[in-house]
Amino acid sequence: MTLGLFQFINTQAQVSKENNGHLKVEQFHPIYLQFGLDTLKSKIGEITEIDSISFSPYKVLHFNFRERNQEQPWPYGTGYLVVDESNPTNNVIWYNLIYGDFGPHSFSWIDFDNDGDKDLYHFIGFEDVFGSRLFLNQINKNTSVPFKMIYSNNIAYCAIVDINMDGIPEILNQITKIDEGYADYNPAVRYELEDSDREKIVMEYNKIIGDYDNCNAKYGMPNHYKVFSFSINADINILTVKNDTIVDVSSQYPEHFCFRREILRDINNAGDSIKYWFSELENKYNNTYKCEE
């Protein structure tokens, strides 16, 4: 499968590395390219297209890769190409290679900065590894970087919301959370949510989600994923895009954080560690947002 000719216009590359025990290393290449999958294969070795996601005029081609001329199975990973479908030669304008077992998924095209161009948001991870990325679309701007990563979260699938219902999305960003790993075997991080509180969380989620419900993790369980995306057990802030950067706008929404405090107060049978964590969150919400008693 060939999509066009291979041509480097800018050979600069930015590489950010993260080693968390899973050998996950992300390489981000902010370069304009015209090439085909066959040419990319000649550069990195074995490559298999997984699927494609279209959103006119762009298409994302999602693939596995393995570097060539290697004696060991590593390195390998998952990558994707952004293709301009409006171009008769199917020019690929950008690609991203993510090394390791935990690749990108759940791609969404959303205009985060209200400039008329769709930006790229996706999750990254699998099983107990969660992450979120936002790449600002700069194709029509005077820059050599077609997609610029302006947001990265390495601990959570962070939900897209429209908390003020103005048509411009915000990110429900997780800052810190207690490690709940294997909660069934660790009583210190267990807790129980009443059904009535789960219903309140679903109602609040539905209230702030706007038109972005399909951009969040679903797992095939509508109410379960809404509680999951809401992240009641995490320290969160609310982010939006202004002047091509991520900005914290949490102070504009004190009622949302006071709602979170009320839910935390209702939690039952919390283990010692998470009980202390919830108490810390309650105090933060009280001190920062002056919630009424």
Say if pTM beats, i.e. exceeds, 0.85.
no
Give the long-range contacts of residues 244-253, CB within 8 A, separation 24 or more.
Answer: 244/113, 244/136, 244/148, 244/150, 245/150, 246/134, 246/150, 246/151, 246/171, 249/170, 252/164, 253/163, 253/164
Tell me the per-residue pLDDT of 59-99, one tens digit each, with 9 for 90 and over: 888 888 777 666 666 778 888 888 887 776 667 788 888 88
Q: Is 253 helix (H, G, I), strand (E, B) or coil?
A: coil
Tell me the per-residue pLDDT of 275-290, one tens digit each, with 9 for 90 and over: 999 999 999 999 999 8
Kindly report the CA angle at 63 between 59 and 67, in degrees rounded to 5?
A: 135
CA atoms within 13 A on the CB side of 193: 19
